[in-house]
A and B are shown apart, each in its own frame.
Chain A
Amino acid sequence: MKKRELKRALRDAFPAPDPVGKRAFLRSLPPAPVSHLRFLLGQAGYIRKSAWAASLTVFALALAVGRLAPQDAVWATAALTPFAAMAAVTEGARSALYGMEELELSSRFGLKSVALARMGALGLAHFLLLALLAPLGPAGLVRTGVYLLTPYLLTALLGMAALRRLRGKEALYAVAAVAVLVAGLSLALHSGLDAYAPANFRWWLLALLLAAGLTAREYRNTIKRTEELSWNW
């Protein structure tokens, strides 16, 4: 008997009677545990296509500006990042926006994990895109990174604060308004104050640190609120 034939024949050489209690046992099992990465990828699949499209549009516009007018690339991209942040924030709060919290809370994966995973997946994708854009700016990697991250985090911070206080469509409009406001502010800072000049970089750095700290706090508060909701149900 050849080796390959032997290996195939071996499958019949270890017979076992059918287990009697298999069905009942498998039915009694809780759902199989899922790895963090698999969960994150699974939840990324539930992110709306429009959210991905918005993120990619921002990225494509930034690339186009960088190619057509490199001197304007930084402030123009900085003015676009709030819209990417808006997509991430509204995605994390989608169940609250559409009044589906109760359903999400009763599902296999808790609302907190789902919101965290979706915002995390989209946020991670945005940071990757921003990291790809940063070296393209004429101001250097660090400065461009700071210029792009600050409006992004500011929008995320104000958007999450709005979502925590408002409900339904009102919250969605509030986040959109915040994104427009921050984008307008970025434009105003360029045209009115010449804020993107190297001399003003320390203020940007300060603003970024402040925005990052407050965003982390707001993120924690948002998650805490979800836990409270979970407890109340």
Chain B
Amino acid sequence: MRQLSRRAALAFGAGGAALTIVGWDRPAFAAAKEAADEIAKFTGGKTAAKAKVSIELPEIAENGNTVPLAVSIDAPMTAENYVSEVLVVAEGNPNPGVATFHFSPMSGKAEASTRIRLATTQNIVVVAKTSKGEFFTGQKLVKVTIGGCGG
């Protein structure tokens, strides 16, 4: 019988390691608390309304190392009332703060896109702040999976 070479075993291992899968004993609450702190800092403790935020993210990540993210806030962008900042937080990442986007009335629309790295299956929380001091929020669950058995 042909033996599987060491290289093949390594190749499999390397592929496996590229995606960190959900551990059933991962202390998720620790990261979630850090994320909550991050959000509280951004809002100054105010409650954000669950509205106006749309998040474009895959349900299941094709590659946890580079997940395409687009956010847009359905709110006015006038000199008197505009979205000034948008915070993106990944609840399950070792460093939950992913990005803060800054806008001005000149931006026309509060939208941005980037690629983010996700260590594991988790919620991505987006919080928008307006020049009037209002806060809006939305979130989406992105699953990071081993894959390979669909069909």
Question: Do A and B make up one complex?
Answer: no
| Interfacial residues, chain B to chain A (CB-CB below 8 A) | none
Chain A residues in contact with chain B, CB under 8 A?
none
